[in-house]
């Protein structure tokens, strides 16, 4: 039996899948940075990479210190981690469509300004799906 969708339905991109794109970019940068590190730093980053995936506000004090160590390994890693956190804040703090629209545009601009290839790749998806994301 074919599915019948309403022609007036609003398409929405869910938060889980949207944040997945920035997480993919973050992990791509982490892997690249990891190859450039000393053995000790590489091991530390590999062992604690899960901290990069967590929300900053969910980390305890020890984890926050470990995270600071990790993002200090590379300006790119720090920048994309902060961009990921900004996206989380955007979801949590956008209370109306107009503020969401403005903040989303600002977030995209900050991402482009980083000039990180993995972020540029993800940004194409964010731009192509911005209506569904903002919905």
> Is-contact 98 83, C-beta < 8 A?
no
Q: Determine, yes or no, domain membership for 2.
A: no
pLDDT, tens digit, 9 for 90 and up, residues 73-91? 999 999 999 999 999 999 8
> Is-contact 110 83, C-beta < 8 A?
yes
Q: Determine, yes or no, domain membership for 4.
A: no
Q: How far is the C-alpha of 99 from the C-alpha of 91, rounded, in Å?
A: 11
User: Total domain count for the chain?
Assistant: 1
Q: Determine, yes or no, domain membership for 104.
A: yes
pLDDT, tens digit, 9 for 90 and up, residues 31-46? 999 999 999 999 999 9
Tell me, what's the pLDDT at 89? Answer: 93
Q: Determine, yes or no, domain membership for 89.
A: yes
Tell me the pTM.
0.88
Q: Determine, yes or no, domain membership for 111.
A: yes
Q: Determine, yes or no, domain membership for 124.
A: yes
Q: Determine, yes or no, domain membership for 27.
A: yes
pLDDT at 1 over 70: no
Domain around 28: 15-134
Confidence of residue 59 (pLDDT cuts 50, 70, 90): very high
Q: Determine, yes or no, domain membership for 110.
A: yes
Residues in CB range of 89: below 8 A, 6 or more apart: none
């Amino acid at each position: 039996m074919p599915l019948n969708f309403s022609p007036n339905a609003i398409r929405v991109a869910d938060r889980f899948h949207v944040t997945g794109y920035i997480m993919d970019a973050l992990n791509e940068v982490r892997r690249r940075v990891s190859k450039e590190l000393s053995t000790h730093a590489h091991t530390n980053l590999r062992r604690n990479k899960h901290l990069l995936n967590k929300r900053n506000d969910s980390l305890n004090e020890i984890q926050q210190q470990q995270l600071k160590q990790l993002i200090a390994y590379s300006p790119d890693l720090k920048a994309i981690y902060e961009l990921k956190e900004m996206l989380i804040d955007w979801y949590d703090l956008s209370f109306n469509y107009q503020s969401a629209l403005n903040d989303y545009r600002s977030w995209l601009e900050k991402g482009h300004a980083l000039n990180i290839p993995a972020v540029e790749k993800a940004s194409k998806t964010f731009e192509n799906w911005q209506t569904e994301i903002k919905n």
